[in-house]
Amino acid sequence: MPSSFTGKVAVVTGAARGIGAGVAREYVRRGGRVALLGLEPDELKSLAAELGDAADWWEADVRDTDAVQSAVDAAADRFGRIDHVLANAGIAAYGTVRQIDPGAFERVVDVNLNGVFRTLRAAAPHVIATKGYVLVVSSLAAFTPLAGLAPYNASKAGVEALALAYRQEMWVHGVKVGVCHPSWIDTDIVRGAEDDLPSFKAIRGRLPWPANGTTSLEECVEAVTHGLEKKKRRVYVPKGVLVANLTKPLFSSAVAEPIAKRLVKRTVPQMEREVAALGRSHSAHVPVTDAK
């Protein structure tokens, strides 16, 4: 059995399902121990039971500074150390800026951006003590903003900037910090959006590779776990997302604008109609750590 994480401990937020749960399983399979943080106690308890003595769980809302701090400190006490942190918790809401409920917009930013800040702040003394590694989950969306997903795009771009600043701050402490940029992964958050919004699926189908495809959860978990093991600066899932990073100025330039205009002329009104028809106060949340 692989043992690359023997003696190591990871804190994973958004651990109840999807990427977080998959990475937790793989981390334990490779000899490590994991602290599972999230807001779905039944799922967290089940996963911890599956992983045995190598795992424990804490119900913690990343929107709550005290709850995050308490959970991270309790995990350090329980396992004696923290070597890796995967700041993974995230949600999505859709609808155009003029349409989306303000509370939904603010909630996405609070979970996806402020929640990462709270996680990094709470974990800092523990990873400094072990000269550890932190991997922050951003997204392909940080490079390729799409109409109708403004809160998700903004929060993931902000997360990248936050992680890069935190990386510089941690240099003096011997802690390495990486940023993960998954494309569309076969998880609840993508399946839910495509089920709710046919226009979203249509828009994705017209985008250039890799934005027009879906990557398996297994491939994503392997890439993230490899990033944790090697303390990578960047983790792209799939690797072609690197191209989106390198071509980001072109994507938002006047050269690409005519193509984007043609794409959204029909799809944005259609998306607004679909969101309105959902009857969810013009917003929809797909939980990763949040079951509410």
Closest CA to 7 of 76, 57, 78, 82: 82
Query: Which residue in the block uniquely carries the two structure tokens 């003029």?
Result: 98
Tell me the H-state helices in the chain: 18-29, 41-51, 65-79, 102-109, 115-130, 150-171, 188-196, 198-206, 217-230, 241-246, 248-251, 257-278
Q: Is 94 one of the catalytic residues?
A: no
Record the tokens describing residue 170, joined without a space: 């941690």
Residue 186, CA distances (Å) to 174, 183, 217, 218, 292 in order = 35, 10, 6, 9, 22
Distance CA 42, CA 57 (A): 10
- Are the C-beta atoms of 144 and 32 separated by less than 8 Å? no
CA gap 278, 145 in Å, rounded: 23
Exactly one of 27, 152, 166, 236 is catalytic; which is it? 152
Burial of 164 (0-12, 13-18, 19+ CB in 10 A): middle
Measured CA to CA, the distance from residue 55 to residue 40 in angstroms comes to 16
CB atoms within 10 A of CB 269: 12
Residues annotated as part of the active site: 152
